[in-house]
């Protein structure tokens, strides 16, 4: 689990003072590329982890090794708790360790560290899309959630600005969402569609019974019910399943493994044309068995392409 690895990485660096990505990979039994991403994530989040290039270099904590996590500053502790967050995948042992860490922190740091632990949810299941770059306002919104400050935002496609109470952030396979309170109740915003954001010093109201994990599960259930009204049954070569799964994410379910090295899978979307448009590029590599509405849309798309791109006789 990523949260476990990040804490293990930090503890290992405190013990050794300096590590290379290769050493970290061997110690945690992960790939070197994953080790580099984890080290970069710690650094980006504000934990004082920095690379030292050249022979004998590696990654180290500023100030050298420390004997325990209670040496963290307020911003460093907040960054660490933000990275771990309230994800349901976090092991109970890690939760226990974080509670002990919170108890060991100086009193002024505890409230922000506690708020940070419930500020971000990590949801690894994509909705058929991902973005390579982190949205510009993630850090500003994280700070507003932790400090409970209202944020004034402008949203793409909407005129004017609106003042919101930020309640929590969700990292869904690098597509970020903000759950917030508005004058019309709870709303969910895609962070990459926020064109402007300004953190105010006005206190934000957050319901006492609000839990980010539960709120996000409700959002996911609503979205998936809306987006999964049409299901197509598709035969796909077993060796191409990973590619198809990358395209459809959680909207693909494997039904059965067939004797001819193919799999029967189910793919869902909100409209037949949405399924057909995403499957059209596969050509004859797959076979759509049903429903007829999706097969008809594929036939229409094929006819349109043939008419436009067939060479003249």
Residue 246 has pLDDT above 90, yes or no: no
Residue 65 has pLDDT above 80, yes or no: no
Contact of 233 with 289, CB cutoff 8 Å:
yes
Q: Give per-residue pLDDT as tens, 209-240.
A: 898 888 998 988 887 777 667 899 999 999 99
Please report which confidence band the pLDDT of residue 60 belongs to, taking 50, 70 and 90 as the band edges.
confident
Tokens of 230: 């049409």
Q: What is the pLDDT of residue 103?
A: 52
Over the chain, what is the mean pLDDT?
79
Q: What is the third-level CATH fold of 228-309?
A: Alpha-Beta Plaits (3.30.70)
- What is the distance between the alpha carbons of residues 117 and 102, in angstroms, rounded to a whole number? 10
Q: What is the pLDDT of residue 152?
A: 96
- What is the distance between the alpha carbons of residues 270 and 187, in angstroms, rounded to a whole number? 21
Q: Helix, strand, or coil here: 70?
A: helix
Please report which confidence band the pLDDT of residue 62 belongs to, taking 50, 70 and 90 as the band edges.
low
Please report which confidence band the pLDDT of residue 178 belongs to, taking 50, 70 and 90 as the band edges.
very high
Residue 186 has pLDDT above 80, yes or no: yes
Q: What is the third-level CATH fold of 2-78+86-108?
A: Arc Repressor Mutant, subunit A (1.10.10)
Among 140-144, 146-150, 203-207, top mean pLDDT goes to: 203-207
Q: Say if residue 291 is preceded by a cis peptide, omega within 30 of 0.
A: yes
Q: Helix, strand, or coil here: 184?
A: coil
Tokens of 60: 């180290």
Backbone angles phi, psi at 170, to 5 degrees: -130, 125
Residue 154 has pLDDT above 50, yes or no: yes
- What is the distance between the alpha carbons of residues 163 and 183, in angstroms, rounded to a whole number? 8
- What is the distance between the alpha carbons of residues 98 and 54, in angstroms, rounded to a whole number? 35
Q: What is the pLDDT of residue 1?
A: 47
Contact of 84 with 6, CB cutoff 8 Å:
yes
Domain ranges of the chain: 2-78+86-108, 138-225, 228-309
**Lowest mean per-residue pLDDT among 90-99, 246-255, 275-284:** 90-99
**Lowest mean per-residue pLDDT among 11-15, 33-37, 264-268:** 11-15
- What is the distance between the alpha carbons of residues 247 and 237, in angstroms, rounded to a whole number? 15
Residue 57 burial (C-beta neighbours within 10 Å; 0-12, 13-18, 19+):
exposed
- What is the distance between the alpha carbons of residues 182 and 188, in angstroms, rounded to a whole number? 10
Tokens of 223: 């979205």
Residue 105 has pLDDT above 80, yes or no: no
In which order are the strands placed within the sheet that holds 18-19?
Answer: 18-19, 58-61, 49-52
- What is the distance between the alpha carbons of residues 185 and 170, in angstroms, rounded to a whole number? 18
Q: What is the third-level CATH fold of 138-225?
A: SH3 type barrels. (2.30.30)
Residue 78 has pLDDT above 80, yes or no: no
Residue 61 has pLDDT above 80, yes or no: no
Backbone angles phi, psi at 158, to 5 degrees: -120, 145
């Amino acid at each position: 689990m990523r949260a476990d690895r990040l804490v293990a990485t930090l503890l290992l660096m405190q013990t050794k003072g300096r590590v290379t990505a290769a050493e970290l990979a061997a110690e945690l039994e992960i790939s070197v590329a994953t080790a580099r991403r984890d080290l970069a994530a710690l650094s980006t989040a504000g934990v004082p982890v920095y690379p030292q290039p050249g022979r004998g270099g590696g990654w180290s904590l500023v100030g050298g090794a420390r004997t325990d996590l209670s040496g963290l500053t307020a911003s460093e502790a907040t960054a660490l708790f933000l990275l771990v967050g309230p994800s349901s995948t976090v092991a109970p042992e890690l939760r226990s360790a974080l509670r002990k860490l919170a108890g060991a922190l100086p009193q002024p740091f505890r409230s922000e560290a506690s708020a940070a632990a419930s500020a971000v949810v990590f949801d690894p299941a994509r909705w058929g899309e991902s973005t390579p770059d982190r949205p510009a306002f993630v850090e500003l919104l994280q700070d507003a959630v932790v400090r409970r400050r209202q944020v004034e935002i402008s949203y793409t496609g909407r005129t004017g600005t609106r003042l919101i109470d930020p309640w929590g952030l969700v990292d869904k396979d690098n597509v970020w969402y903000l759950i917030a309170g508005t004058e019309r109740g709870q709303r969910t915003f895609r962070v990459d569609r926020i064109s402007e954001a300004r953190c105010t010093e006005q206190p934000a109201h957050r319901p006492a019974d609000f839990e980010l994990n539960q709120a996000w599960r409700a959002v996911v259930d609503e979205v998936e019910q809306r987006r999964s009204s049409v299901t197509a049954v598709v035969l796909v070569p077993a060796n191409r399943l990973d590619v198809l799964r990358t395209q459809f994410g959680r909207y693909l379910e494997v039904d059965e493994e067939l004797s001819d090295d193919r799999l029967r899978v189910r793919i869902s979307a909100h409209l037949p044309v949405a399924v057909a448009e995403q499957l059209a590029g596969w050509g004859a590599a797959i076979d759509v068995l049903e429903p007829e509405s999706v097969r008809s849309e594929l036939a229409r798309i094929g006819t349109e392409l043939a008419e436009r791109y067939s060479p003249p006789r």
